[in-house]
């Protein structure tokens, strides 16, 4: 979900305003995807590298994630089940604040009975961290080292392979996101920054699955 800061700068607004607009765009995307019978939508909410951003910006983004996970009524209305991947809260290196942890746990619990789209938010997530952890756990288990067994040690082994990876704001890179899961994915590139991503763009990305 790239381009929030640039979206704001072009309008003479602080970067935090771009992140706020991006959060609303995500809510719109969730509603649109659920109406189009998308089974899984995984979004890169906050990376392991994002902690290096200015403190005020990080604090604002954390508040937006608390708000996102707090949209329980709307999520339930759209039959959306919330999921999360990232560095486990109880493991060394985890930096997710307690209030965000609580919001994540509550959202997962309060939407657990929904049977529609699974919305997975990658928070404090980095694919290299995920794969390194999986490799260490596999080695400790004593099981054969092969792709099938490594898959079992990912943050959420139940997530299916990615069909389409969406890159907004003219970015032509992967950004350490789901490197294991996107091995056969098609990539949808758009020049639009994330706050301007809409249902028309979503439909164009979904169309790639039919080719």
Does the annotation count 2 as an active-site position? yes
Catalytic residue from among 2, 78, 114, 124:
2
Q: Which residues contact 113 (CB under 8 A, 6 or more apart)?
A: none
Element (DSSP H or E) covering residue 45? strand 40-47
Q: Is 118 helix (H, G, I), strand (E, B) or coil?
A: strand
* Conformational region of residue 178, where left means phi above 0, alpha means psi within -120 to 50, and beta covers everything else: left
Task: Kindly give the pairing relationship between strand 186-189 and strand 164-167.
Answer: parallel
Place of tokens 């109406």: 35
Does the annotation count 211 as an active-site position? no
Catalytic residue from among 4, 50, 78, 114:
50
Which residues are catalytic, by number?
A: 2, 50
């Amino acid at each position: 979900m790239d381009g929030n800061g640039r979206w704001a700068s072009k309008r003479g607004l602080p970067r935090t305003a771009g992140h706020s607009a991006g959060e609303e765009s995500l809510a719109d995307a969730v509603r649109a995807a659920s109406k189009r019978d998308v089974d899984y939508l995984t979004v890169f909410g906050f990376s392991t590298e994002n902690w290096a951003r200015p403190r005020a910006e990080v604090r604002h983004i954390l508040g937006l994630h608390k708000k996102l996970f707090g949209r329980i009524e709307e999520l339930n209305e759209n039959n959306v089940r919330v999921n999360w991947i990232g560095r486990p809260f109880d493991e060394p290196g985890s930096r997710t604040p307690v209030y965000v942890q609580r919001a994540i746990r509550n959202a997962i619990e309060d939407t657990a009975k929904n049977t529609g789209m699974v919305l997975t938010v990658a928070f404090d997530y980095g694919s290299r961290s995920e794969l390194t952890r999986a490799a260490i756990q596999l080695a400790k288990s004593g099981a054969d080292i092969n792709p099938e067994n490594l898959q079992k040690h990912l943050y959420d082994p139940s997530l299916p392979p990615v069909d389409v990876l969406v890159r907004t704001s003219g970015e032509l890179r992967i950004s350490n996101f789901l490197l294991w899961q996107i091995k056969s994915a098609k990539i949808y590139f758009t020049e639009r920054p994330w706050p301007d991503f809409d249902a028309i763009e979503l439909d164009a990305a979904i169309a790639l699955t039919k080719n």
